[in-house]
Amino acid sequence: VDRVREYNRRTLDSLAAKSYFYYHLFHEQLDPKPPSKQSPVIATRSKLLAALRSAVLRKDNDTQSAVIVLLLRNYISTADINQADLLVNQTSFPPNAPNNQVCRYLYYLGRIRAIQLSYTAAHEHLTSATRKSPTNNVAAGFYQSAMKLLIVVELLMGDIPDRAIFRQPSLERALYPYFRLVQAVRVGDLQGFVRVVEENVTQFRRDGTYTLILRLRQNVIKTGVRMLSLSYSRISLRDICLRLGVESEESAEYIVAKAIRDGVIEATLDHEHGFMESKQAGDIYATREPAEAFHERIKACLSIHDECVMAMRYPMNKHRQELKNAQEARERERELA
C-alpha cells in the first residue's frame, strides 16, 4: 500500500484500489473482530483517510470510490454511525465510479439511513443498489444481503414486499426466515412474530438486521389493530387483548388510542363501555396517493434512462474516421464517373 502511494500514475489507479481493499480485508480477519472497539480495523482509518485525501487531489476516481466504501464499511462494522454519516456529508462520491463500487456505496448508505430512521431514503438507496447489482451467481452474496435489508426497510415503512421476490432461485433459501417474518407482519400476528425472531435470532444478528427487526414489533401491533378495525365494526377491548396477545385491557386501550392518533385506523374509542367502533373507510382513489405512487414509478424509470445515457462511452476520434470514409467514397464515385 505504501509503495503504491508513492506513484502518481493513472495506470496504477485500479491496482491501488485493489491494494486498499485487500489491506482492509486482512485487518478485518484479525482478532478481536468487529464490532469490538479493540478491533485492528480501527487502526486502519488514518491510513484510509490519508489515501482518500491523496486520491481526491490526484483525481483518482477508482481509489477514491474504493476508499470511501471501505471507510463506510469500517465505521458501520464498529457501530460508529455518526462517523459514517459525517463522512457521507463531507465527501462526494465520484459520479463515474465503477458499478460495483456504486452498488456497495448505495448499500452502506441505505443501511446508515435505516439506522437513522430515514426509511424513505434508505428504501431509495437500497432499491438502486439491487437494480444495479448483478442478479446471477457473480454477486449472489451481495444481492442477498441487499434484499434482506430492503425487505426489513419495506416492512418498517408499512409496506409488504412482493411475494415473487421470495421465489427467485438465488434468494429462496436465503430469504426463508424473512418470508416467515413477512407473513407474521402481514397478518399482525404478534405471537408468531416473536416466535420467528427467537428461532432465527442468530441469522438476523449475522445479517446485521436484528436491531431493525426489533423495531417491527410496533408495526405488527398496528397491522393487527388495522385488521381488526377492517373485520369488525365494533369490538371490545377484551377481545383485542385475546387477538393481539396483549396482557391487559389498559394496554389494548393505549395501543388503539395511539393507532387512532397516528392515523393508522379510523375509529372511535368508548372508554366507558370498553370497545372500539370503526368508521366507514373512504375511497383511496379520491386521494392523491395513486397519483403520487405513479409519479414515483415514472421518476425511477427516468432516473434509469439518465444513468444509461451518462454511462455511454464513445470511441475517440470516431468522427474523423467517418469523415475519411466519406471522402474516400466520394473519390471512388468520381473515378467511376
The model's pLDDT over 281-329, given as tens digits with 9 standing for 90+, comes to 667 787 888 898 899 899 989 988 888 888 777 666 665 666 667 777 7
For 245-298, give the DSSP string.
Answer: T-S-HHHHHHHHHHHHHTTS--EEEETTTTEEEEPPP--GGGSSHHHHHHHHHH
As a whole number, mean pLDDT of residues 106-130 equals: 93
Mean pLDDT to the nearest integer, 149-177: 90
Distance CA 331, CA 327 (A): 6
Please compute Rg for the chain using Cα positions. Answer: 27
Is residue 108 predicted with pLDDT exceeding 70?
yes
Structure confidence at residue 322 (pLDDT): 65
Share of the chain above pLDDT 90, in %: 31
pLDDT score of 60 more than 70: yes
**223 vs 206: which has the higher pLDDT:** 206
| Longest pairwise C-alpha distance within the chain | 105
- Residue 327 confidence (pLDDT): 75
Specify which of 32-41, 108-117, 158-167 reaches the highest per-range mean pLDDT: 108-117
For residue 319, give Cα distances in angstroms to 309, 313, 322, 329: 19, 14, 5, 15
Q: Which of 81-90, 143-152, 249-258 has the lowest mean pLDDT?
A: 249-258
Q: What is the DSSP letter of 311?
A: H
Q: Which three cell numbers stand for residue 30?
A: 484479525
Q: With 90 as the cut, is the pLDDT of residue 107 above it?
A: yes
CATH 1.10.10.10 fits 220-278, yes or no: yes
**pLDDT of 82:** 94
Tens of pLDDT, residues 216-244 = 988 888 888 888 887 888 888 888 887 77
By mean pLDDT, which of 170-184, 196-210, 268-282 is the weakest?
Answer: 268-282
Top-confidence residue, 322 or 271:
271
